[in-house]
Every structure is written in structure tokens, then in C-alpha cells.
């Protein structure tokens, strides 16, 4: 299950944004997105099958792969080992070459 942000913290951030406009650079935004999706992919460990963490084929696949020019579109993929029934995990991918559809 994904972590839900603290409502009080989100409310305070929104109030601060209204009071004082905030300018965020692309680099800062991209770094924040990478951290967010890395955290989300790590939290998917609870969603993966129980044997996925021990499966060498699934362990070899990185949880998150987002290139520097990744867009605001990310793909959540469920991968599985065809040799092992019911072993899977979720991965996140984001590449600039993948167009929005």
C-alpha cells in the first residue's frame, strides 16, 4: 500500500504556496519526481508476491528506471517469471522516447 502524505503538512504547503509564489527549477522538479517514484516503487514491495524477493530473475530487474529527460508520464508495469507461477513485482519506467498517449 502506498504511503499517504500527512494532511496537515499538505495543507500547510498549499497555504504557503498561496501566500508566497514559489519558483521551482526543472532540475529540482525532476529530482523530486525521481525520489517520489523511487519511493513508490519501493513501497510496491508489499504488493509483490511473497517469492519475488527471492527470485533471481525478478531481483535482476531494477524497480525504477527513469532517464534524465523523462516526461511527466510514467509507466507502472507488472513483471513476472514465466517459469514460476504467481511470482511477480511492479516496476516503474519513464523515458523521454516514450510519447504521451
Which of the residues are catalytic? 101
Q: Is 73 annotated as a binding residue?
A: yes
How large is the greatest C-alpha to C-alpha distance in the chain, in angstroms? 56
Q: How far is CA 16 from CA 5, 9, 21, in A?
A: 17, 11, 8
Q: Which three cell numbers stand for residue 17?
A: 504556496
> Does residue 94 contact residue 72 with C-beta atoms inside 8 Å?
no
How many residues does this entry show for the chain?
101
Please state the residue numbers annotated as binding site for substrate. 73
Please state the residue numbers annotated as binding site. 73
Amino acid at each position: 500500500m502506498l504511503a499517504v502524505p500527512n494532511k496537515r503538512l499538505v495543507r500547510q504547503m498549499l497555504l504557503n504556496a498561496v501566500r508566497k509564489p514559489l519558483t521551482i527549477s526543472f532540475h529540482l522538479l525532476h529530482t523530486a519526481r525521481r525520489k517520489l517514484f523511487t519511493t513508490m516503487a519501493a513501497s510496491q514491495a508489499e504488493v509483490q508476491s511473497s517469492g519475488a524477493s527471492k527470485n533471481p530473475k525478478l531481483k535482476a530487474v531494477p524497480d525504477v528506471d527513469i532517464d534524465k529527460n523523462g516526461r511527466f508520464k510514467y509507466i507502472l508495469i507488472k513483471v513476472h517469471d514465466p517459469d514460476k507461477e504467481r511470482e511477480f513485482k511492479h516496476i516503474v519506467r519513464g523515458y523521454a522516447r516514450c510519447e504521451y498517449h
